[in-house]
């Protein structure tokens, strides 16, 4: 009889675990739907090298600007 009680308890624990996992998956999917409806879509992408050129110190954007009276 002790074996039956232990087995029933194990089955109850497995059922509760399955319910928790189902709820977690439901919430995750609901959250994905809400974010995609708002226009925020986050995609998992492999790491990629970002190729960004660095401007020279002599570029026009880095030169100090004078006041209009200097011209």
Banded pLDDT at 11 (limits 50, 70, 90): very high
Mean pLDDT of the chain: 76
Identify the pLDDT of residue 56.
60
Using one digit for the tens of pLDDT, what is the confidence trace for 32-60? Answer: 888 777 766 566 666 666 666 666 656 55
Banded pLDDT at 14 (limits 50, 70, 90): very high
Banded pLDDT at 19 (limits 50, 70, 90): very high
Q: Which residues contact 15 (CB under 8 A, 6 or more apart)?
A: none
CA distance 45 to 25: 22
């Amino acid at each position: 009889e002790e074996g039956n009680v232990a087995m029933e308890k194990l089955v109850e624990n497995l059922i509760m675990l399955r319910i928790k996992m189902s709820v977690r998956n439901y919430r995750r999917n609901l959250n994905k739907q809400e974010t995609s409806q708002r226009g925020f879509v986050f995609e998992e992408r492999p790491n990629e090298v970002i190729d960004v050129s660095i401007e020279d110190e002599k570029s026009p954007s880095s030169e100090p600007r004078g006041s209009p009276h200097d011209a």
